[in-house]
Amino acid sequence: MHVSVTFLGLQRALARTERIRIRLSKEMRVADVLDYLKECYPELPFPEDALLVAVNNRISSLERILKEDDNVAFLPFLGGG
């Protein structure tokens, strides 16, 4: 089973790619993908207190079980005011 991860903003610049595909060997959650990314891309910012996740362009939780060809994005924090 494969899922895609889309990098946005600073994530894209630091990862030097827009998207990667990850092969999953078992039933996995979004949190498992996050752990994988933290291991493979330690320089990417994934602030746990301000992390918003989208799966297939819909807001999701870290506990969501992923399916074949899902697209995961960890939305970067946007500030302003």
46 burial via Cβ count (<10 Å: 0-12, 13-18, 19+): middle
Q: Is the pTM of this model over 0.85?
A: yes
Per-residue pLDDT, 33:
94
Tell me the domains of the chain and their CATH numbers. Answer: 2-75 (3.10.20.30)
Q: Which of 18-22, 44-48, 54-58 has the lowest mean pLDDT?
A: 44-48
Triad 57, 61, 66: Cα angle to 5°: 70
pLDDT value at 81 more than 60: no
pLDDT tens per residue, range 20-46: 999 987 889 999 999 999 999 999 888
pLDDT tens per residue, range 60-71: 999 999 999 999
